[in-house]
Amino acid sequence: MASISSSPLSLMSFNVSSNFNRKHQPSKNRKPKHHKIACTSNDTNQNSPKEQEQKSSPRRNVLIGLGGLYGATTLTNNNSLAFGAPVPIPDLTKCVIPPDKSPVSINCCPPFSADIIDFKLPTFEKLRVRPAAQLVDDDYFAKYNKALELMRALPDDDPRSFTQQANIHCAYCVDGYVQLGYPNIKLSVHNCWLFLAFHRWYIYFYERILGSLINDPTFAIPFWNFDAPDGMQIPSIFTNPNSSLYDLRRDSRHQPPRIIDLNYNRYIEDDPTSEKYDPNYPPSAEQQIKDNLTLMHRQMITNSKTCLLFHGSPYRAGQLPDPGPGALESSPHNNVHIWSGDAKQTNREDMGNFYSSGRDPLFYALHGNVDRLWSIWKTLGGKRKDPTDDDWLESSFLFYDENKNLVKVKVKDGLDGKKLGYDYQKVDIPWINSKPKPASRRVQSKGKLLTPRKFVDKFPIVLDSVVSTIVKRPKKSRSSKEKEDEEEILVIDGIEFDSNIEVKFDVIVNDEDDKVIGVGNTEFAGTFVNLLHGHNHENNTKKKKNIVTCMRLGLTDLLEDLKADDDDSILVTFIPRYGGDGVKISGIKIEFAN
């Protein structure tokens, strides 16, 4: 694998002008903090870029043209949120009811109650064991079917009803809530470090309510084992149209035996006349499984070597939502949603949209697995440990429990599933050794991947085509000790788009023009995916609402495997998969963090 030459003949730098202004509002609750903040930099460029002729030229020419690469930017991170506090519970009195004429008109606010009790750890005789959905027997199916039938039969205004359970996701994820004490600050549990913790609590209460409806405290929800070959289809218990586990609004092409695509590029099979269409899609089942396992390996291992790479960026009281997703959230999680939702529905309901995804029972099985993968991640060693920051530990949420009590839970009470009374059935973890491989030989091009591309040395950029840029590495040739101490992280900053569009772009590092990089290749550093949020209830029109977020990808293993450890710079290529023309990226840089 060729790597980028390191002779510093010319000076090159990037105008990384972040338009981040995501500081939170003043509050008395604040206390001073000195955190290292992920993805909220306010970087300015210290060097003006040298003129380079590089539009659409092959990478090799660019390298020659530049006479080697020498990025001289010293990026600073001077927009640390110097103050912080845990994210408070939502203010139920200010839950927004969308007006009738919003594109998707629903009221997802829960029944109001002013009586909030604090969560207490449950007592139980034995652990509830959540089974792999593809392995359950008929008795289990009958039990879950019955429980869900009862839940669906509850009146809509009963906080335990299926409607209300689904609405939880809508209210917490589509700007239904503001943070208590911050009337202007929306509360959102996606694209940030609350993602895993929030969903753990969500499915915990869902499970407890189901158990209480059938009088069986040992009842445990199943997990969709999509990270293992025998779980890579929609589990059959969810596909019987006569059962309460069924949902009509799913993609009809993706029914069993179709193997899930954990890196789904949605338009790839939608419209034969579109340039995103690939007549060779889907690949063989064997190839799809292989690709899925590699993606799991990348997201769980190489892209998740630090706590924040896995959990997502810090999100504190008073801070605007969407500081940046963790590895598992972005992919496969978001892709599983999009792959499952019905492409024929206007808003990709149910699973393909945050407002509606809780209406599909499959949702709770998806999140069972996401939750299980969180527990597995903590056993993988290294620095894979939960955050110890109080602002994370003390963040809180509200849920109704099986007795219709409104309960306040804290992130810190949910760190160990066993203390909450549940565990997961042990099944194989087949992706542990599914390392991606460098694209070491020419593969036949499908003709539309990497060329033509545009080379840029200035940000912001709009992702309306394949774009490559060179990023300077502040440190190189690090010892294994240094690498263990700090992960080298590619930070893609100020990713901005309208929340009403779906977005996906892949990030490739050090590719060569003549090779097609697939998800199985080392060069495929990661993918950014935004799910539809569904509706906008600010007013009666589909008003634009911009999300500004950030993405962080682990580079240490990747560069080692590409033998690029000693290079001064890397070549980063963005491949827009959909929604690209609506995406602006304000900066890119390399950081080191533990």
Residue type at 547 in one-letter notation: I
| Size (the chain), residues | 594
Applying CB under 6 A, which of residues 160, 297, 337, 478 lies at the interface with ligand C2O?
337
Q: How far is the CB of 339 from ligand C2O (least distance, A)?
A: 12
Applying CB under 6 A, which of residues 190, 311, 472, 589 lies at the interface with ligand C2O?
190
The H or E element spanning position 163 is helix 162-173
Place of tokens 């009281």: 317
423 within 8 A of 381, measured Cβ to Cβ: no
Angle between helices 162-173 and 195-213 (to 10 degrees): 170
Q: What is the distance between the alpha carbons of residues 91 and 180, in angstroms, rounded to a whole number?
A: 4
**Residue whose CB is less far from ligand C2O, 337 or 348:** 337
Long-range contacts of 446-452 (CB under 8 A, 24+ apart): 446/278, 446/280, 446/516, 448/275, 449/516, 449/517, 449/575, 450/511, 450/513, 450/515, 450/516, 450/517, 450/573, 450/575, 451/58, 451/513, 452/56
Q: How far is the CB of 520 from ligand C2O (least distance, A)?
A: 25
Q: Report how many residues bind ligand C2O under the rule CB under 6 A.
A: 7
Q: How far is the CB of 357 from ligand C2O (least distance, A)?
A: 6
If one asks whether residue 173 binds ligand C2O (CB under 6 A), the answer comes out as yes
Q: How far is the CB of 290 from ligand C2O (least distance, A)?
A: 25
- Residues noted as catalytic: 169, 190, 199, 333, 337, 354, 367
Q: Whose CB is nearest to ligand C2O?
A: 173
If one asks whether residue 174 binds ligand C2O (CB under 6 A), the answer comes out as no
Applying CB under 6 A, which of residues 169, 250, 298, 577 lies at the interface with ligand C2O?
169
Interstrand relation of 584-593 and 128-130 (parallel, antiparallel or unpaired): unpaired
**Residue whose CB is less far from ligand C2O, 365 or 420:** 365
Which residues, in sequence order, are bridge partners of residue 554? Answer: 489
Cβ neighbours for 319, distance < 8 A, ≥ 6 positions apart? 22, 23, 24, 81, 185
Give the x/- contact pattern for ligand C2O in 350-369, rule: CB under 6 A. -----------------x--
**Residue whose CB is less far from ligand C2O, 14 or 172:** 172
Q: What is the distance between the alpha carbons of residues 187 and 175, in angstroms, rounded to a whole number?
A: 6
Q: What is the distance between the alpha carbons of residues 235 and 261, in angstroms, rounded to a whole number?
A: 15
**Residue whose CB is less far from ligand C2O, 89 or 564:** 89
Q: How far is the CB of 414 from ligand C2O (least distance, A)?
A: 15
Q: What is the distance between the alpha carbons of residues 183 and 173, in angstroms, rounded to a whole number?
A: 17
Residues between 364 and 393 with contacts to ligand C2O, criterion CB under 6 A: 367
Q: How far is the CB of 429 from ligand C2O (least distance, A)?
A: 21
**Residue whose CB is less far from ligand C2O, 199 or 359:** 199
If one asks whether residue 333 binds ligand C2O (CB under 6 A), the answer comes out as yes
**Residue whose CB is less far from ligand C2O, 86 or 358:** 358
**Residue whose CB is less far from ligand C2O, 190 or 298:** 190
On the 0-12 / 13-18 / 19+ scale of CB atoms within 10 A, 540 is middle
Q: Is 492 helix (H, G, I), strand (E, B) or coil?
A: strand
Torsion, Cα of 290, 292, 297, 299 (10° steps): 160
Cβ neighbours for 572, distance < 8 A, ≥ 6 positions apart? 468, 469, 470, 471, 490, 507, 508, 509, 525, 588
Q: What is the distance between the alpha carbons of residues 554 and 465, in angstroms, rounded to a whole number?
A: 24
Q: How far is the CB of 173 from ligand C2O (least distance, A)?
A: 5
**Residue whose CB is less far from ligand C2O, 348 or 478:** 348
Q: How far is the CB of 364 from ligand C2O (least distance, A)?
A: 10
Here the tokens at position 263 are: 């890196």
Instruction: Report DSSP letters for 459-481, one per residue.
Output: SSEE-SS-EEEEEE-SS-S--HH
**Residue whose CB is less far from ligand C2O, 4 or 365:** 365
Closest CA to 301 of 214, 379, 195: 379
Q: How far is the CB of 329 from ligand C2O (least distance, A)?
A: 8
Q: What angle do CA 427, 189, 541 make, to 5 degrees?
A: 125
List contacts with ligand C2O (CB under 6 A): 169, 173, 190, 199, 333, 337, 367
